[in-house]
Amino acid sequence: MKWIDVQNNQSFDLESIVYLRKDDFSNTVSELLQTGSRMIALTPIDKNIPQKIIAVLSDSASSTIHIVGGNFSDGKFEFESWANKYPQTNYFECELSENYGYLSVNHPWLRPVRKQSVILGNKPYQFFKLEGEEVHEVAVGPIHAGVIEPGHFRFQCHGELIYNLEINLGYQHRAVENLFLKAKPNQRIFLAESIAGDTTIGHTFAHCSALESLTQTQISLRADVIRTVAAEIERIAMHLSGLGGLTNDIGFALPSASYGRLRTLAINSLAAICGSRYGRGLFAYGGINFDFTNETIEMVTENLKTIQNDVQKINEYLFSSVGALSRFEETGIINNELANSIGLVGLAARSSGIEDDIRINFPYSAYRYNPVSMITLSTGDVFARARARAMEMDEALRFVFEQIENLPQGKIKSEMGNLNVNSGVISIVEGWRGEIVHIASIDNSGNLMQYKIKDPSFNNWYGLSLTLRNTAISDFPLCNKSFDLSYSGHDL
């Protein structure tokens, strides 16, 4: 066997990874990509030994994660790029190059991921530039017009139309991955909560699951169910926020204000559970910090009932408005083939007809016993991404009501043991945007030696830039909001 297969959240022995010579490594990864696996990480498993890297690929059909090792000890850090044939690996190769000095030979477009004024390959990076008559460039950011995170956008326009949008990020880079290695064990959960403040529960879920697997800690069913309930409330809240943003961007004030009001109810439900409107402080290693009392259940139920009742009417109003539909439909299209080839994930992928949902394909925690339904749409436009939010919200509401009615009994927290030496784990969670991957590995003295995070935004920013080709700049806010990607989750 040229690679090892693991399951989501299954801890594995680091010694079991097979490290192939570079050509063999490159071919094996190609082979797996060819058979439909998708890359989810490309990184050294030990930060201090950059010459040994792993490529992690997930195969949704068989719920398996493949780990291929590559050994570059005897020679240059170079391998043949996969990105020409499989554009989904493009950004992973850029990241590996930026962080560890690898060069993927014949890479179509090596560009910086997080660092500013970086030298990639051997020349300083220049923005892509279009030249010719009727050509102009529009540069926006890092500071944008609204209360949002920073990022730089460079539009190369031909007349009214966008020829290319280059998205340059990294402004939020706080070195979270390094901080995980430096942090005291009691700081790690708080770091996880602040990877992306809008996906606090998603990232903390992935982090806790990873460390619990590495310590073989068993979580009680009650804690598992409450974790998934909180994750679904976060999904409801952020989908409401997304719909509020989309309606705001088309100047449709009434639904926008209504979604805003309902979102307050959703995040206040989280505050009723754990005191923080974003679910901070809820997760603890081995379970959760706050149990559901009758009062919490009552308040959460009441809030969500209001949301369920109101949102149905508001959705109906929105999705039957001709004005709204004409703005949403056929704007920012990303078709199924393109979505597949660039490795889009999560809500955006499902809106382009890709059946990919970690809760279903790689079930974890309480989703193993209490499944959710897959929601896919086929058109891949802003309409699909808006409609998918509405539908996922319905499904999340159904899930939450079902779970809190039949909450299993039990303790909410178990004691966590010591970290298994020489082991690693891959923990994948479906955040509200999509696939969140946390990879942790432990050295022979029981310390974290690598912590790798992949937010769904890492995959999807490229998708946003492609949807804008041949559309007008005025469509940018709407397309951007329909993806609603994280800067801090990408920048780390």
Q: What token pair was written down for 389?
A: 């939010």
In angstroms, give the least distance from the CB of 364 to other proteins: 23
d(CA 417, CA 47): 24
d(CA 1, CA 83): 25
Q: How distant, in Å, are the alpha carbons of 127, 158, 222, 469 from that of 132?
A: 16, 9, 63, 17
In angstroms, give the least distance from the CB of 367 to other proteins: 25
Indicate the residue among 4 and 284 with the shorter CB distance to other proteins: 284
Count CA within 13 A, CB hemisphere, residue 403. Answer: 27
In angstroms, give the least distance from the CB of 206 to other proteins: 15
* Cβ–Cβ under 8 Å, residues 338 and 485: no
Dihedrals φ, ψ of 56, to 5°?
-110, 125
Hey, CA dihedral for 22, 24, 27, 33, is it positive or negative? negative
Indicate the residue among 2 and 173 with the shorter CB distance to other proteins: 173
Q: How distant, in Å, are the alpha carbons of 29, 141, 144, 178, 231 from that of 42?
A: 11, 29, 31, 16, 27
Element of type H or E holding 278: none
Extract the runs of DSSP E, i.e. beta strands, from 61-143. Answer: 64-71, 78-80, 103-105, 119-120, 123-124, 135-140
Indicate the residue among 192 and 333 with the shorter CB distance to other proteins: 192
In angstroms, give the least distance from the CB of 20 to other proteins: 34
Q: What token pair was written down for 426?
A: 């891959």
Cβ-based neighbours of 190, under 8 Å, separated by 6 or more: none
In angstroms, give the least distance from the CB of 431 to other proteins: 13
Extract the runs of DSSP E, i.e. beta strands, from 237-326. Answer: 283-284, 287-288
Indicate the residue among 87 and 279 with the shorter CB distance to other proteins: 279
In angstroms, give the least distance from the CB of 163 to other proteins: 26
Indicate the residue among 228 and 269 with the shorter CB distance to other proteins: 269
Pairing mode of beta strands 423-430, 161-168: unpaired
Q: What token pair was written down for 23?
A: 């050509």
In angstroms, give the least distance from the CB of 48 to other proteins: 17
d(CA 311, CA 307): 6
- Residue whose pair of structure tokens reads 């094996």 in the numeric block: 28
Q: How many residues are present in the chain?
A: 492
In angstroms, give the least distance from the CB of 319 to other proteins: 12
Indicate the residue among 55 and 196 with the shorter CB distance to other proteins: 196
In angstroms, give the least distance from the CB of 375 to other proteins: 24
Indicate the residue among 352 and 460 with the shorter CB distance to other proteins: 460
Indicate the residue among 316 and 337 with the shorter CB distance to other proteins: 316
DSSP, collapsed to helix, strand or coil, labels residue 283 as: strand
Indicate the residue among 29 and 237 with the shorter CB distance to other proteins: 237
In angstroms, give the least distance from the CB of 330 to other proteins: 25
Indicate the residue among 243 and 426 with the shorter CB distance to other proteins: 243
Indicate the residue among 43 and 457 with the shorter CB distance to other proteins: 457
Indicate the residue among 10 and 116 with the shorter CB distance to other proteins: 116
In angstroms, give the least distance from the CB of 307 to other proteins: 11
Q: Which residues bind other proteins (CB under 8 A)?
A: 116, 142-143, 145-150, 170-176, 178-179, 182-184, 186-187, 189-191, 193-198, 200, 241, 254-255, 257-258, 260-261, 263-264, 268, 271-278, 280-281, 289-290, 295, 310, 313-314, 316-317, 486-488
Indicate the residue among 281 and 380 with the shorter CB distance to other proteins: 281
Element of type H or E holding 302: helix 294-319
- Residue whose pair of structure tokens reads 């199924």 in the numeric block: 336
In angstroms, give the least distance from the CB of 174 to other proteins: 5
In angstroms, give the least distance from the CB of 455 to other proteins: 11
Q: Which long-range contacts (CB under 8 A, 24 or more apart) does 321-329 make?
A: 321/252, 323/250, 323/252, 324/247, 324/250, 324/252, 325/383, 327/250, 327/382, 327/478, 328/246, 328/250, 328/381, 328/382, 328/383, 328/386, 328/478, 329/379, 329/381, 329/382, 329/383
